[in-house]
Amino acid sequence: MYKNQFQQSSIFAAIFKMALHNKYDKQTLRKKLENESFVRKTVSFYRYVIIENAEELRDELYQKLEDIKVLGRIYLAKEGINAQISVPEPNWDSFQRLLFSYTEFKNIPFKIAVDDNGKSFLKLKIKARLKLVADGLEDNAFDVTNVGMHLSAKEFNNAMESPDTIVVDMRNHYESEVGHFKGAIRPDSDTFRDELPMVLKELQSKKDKQILMYCTGGIRCEKASAYLRHHGFQNVNQLYGGIIQYVQEVNQNGLENKFIGKNFVFDDRLGEHITDDIIAECHQCGSPCDNHTNCNNEACHLLFIQCEKCAEKYDGCCSEDCEKFIHLPIEQQRKLRKDKKKGSVRNVYTKGRVYAKNHTYRSI
Q: What is the pLDDT along the chain (364 residues), one digit of tens a residue?
A: 434 443 444 444 444 444 566 667 778 888 888 888 999 999 999 999 999 999 999 999 999 999 999 999 999 999 999 999 999 999 999 999 999 999 999 999 999 988 777 788 999 999 999 888 888 888 777 888 899 999 999 999 999 999 999 999 999 999 999 999 999 999 999 899 999 999 999 999 999 999 999 999 999 999 999 999 999 999 999 999 999 999 999 999 999 999 999 999 988 888 999 999 999 999 999 999 999 999 999 888 899 999 999 999 999 999 998 999 999 998 888 888 776 654 433 333 344 444 444 444 333 3
Handedness of CA 117, 122, 124, 127 (dihedral sign): negative
- What sign results for the dihedral spanned by CA atoms 190, 191, 193, 199? positive
CATH pick for 29-128 out of 3.30.70.20, 3.40.50.150, 3.30.70.100, 3.30.930.10: 3.30.70.100
**Predicted pLDDT at 72:** 94
- Using a 10 angstrom Cβ sphere, with 0-12 exposed, 13-18 middle and 19 or more buried, the burial of residue 327 is exposed
Q: 238 forms bridges with which residues in the sheet? A: 150, 213
Contacts 24+ apart (CB under 8 A), 333-339: 333/299, 336/299, 336/364, 337/299
Judge whether 215 counts as a catalytic residue: yes
Measured in residues, the chain has a length of: 364
pLDDT of residue 167: 98
- Residue 167: other Cβ atoms inside 10 A: 22
Closest CA to 223 of 142, 165, 157: 142
CB-based contacts of 232: which residues, under 8 Å, 6+ apart?
A: 207
Do β-strands 272-273 and 292-294 pair in parallel, antiparallel, or remain unpaired? Answer: unpaired
How far apart are the C-alpha atoms of 300 and 315, rounded to whole Å? 14
**Cβ(135)–Cβ(219) under 8 Å?**
no
Q: Give the Cβ contact number of residue 353 at 10 Å.
A: 16
Residue spans of the domains in the chain: they are: 29-128, 143-262, 292-358
Query: What pLDDT is attached to residue 272?
Result: 92
Residue of 215, 300, 310, 322 marked active site: 215
On whether the 143-262 domain is CATH 2.90.10.10, my answer is: no
Residues in contact with 173: Cβ distance below 8 Å, sequence separation at least 6, in sequence order:
186, 187, 188, 189, 190, 351, 352, 353, 356
- Side chain identity, residue 323: E
The DSSP output letter for 141 is G
- The reported pLDDT for the residue numbered 340 is 63
Tell me the C-alpha distance between 4 and 71, whole Å.
38
- Do residues 266 and 314 lie in contact, with contact meaning Cβ atoms separated by under 8 Å? no
Q: What angle do CA 145, 73, 283 make, to 5 degrees?
A: 95
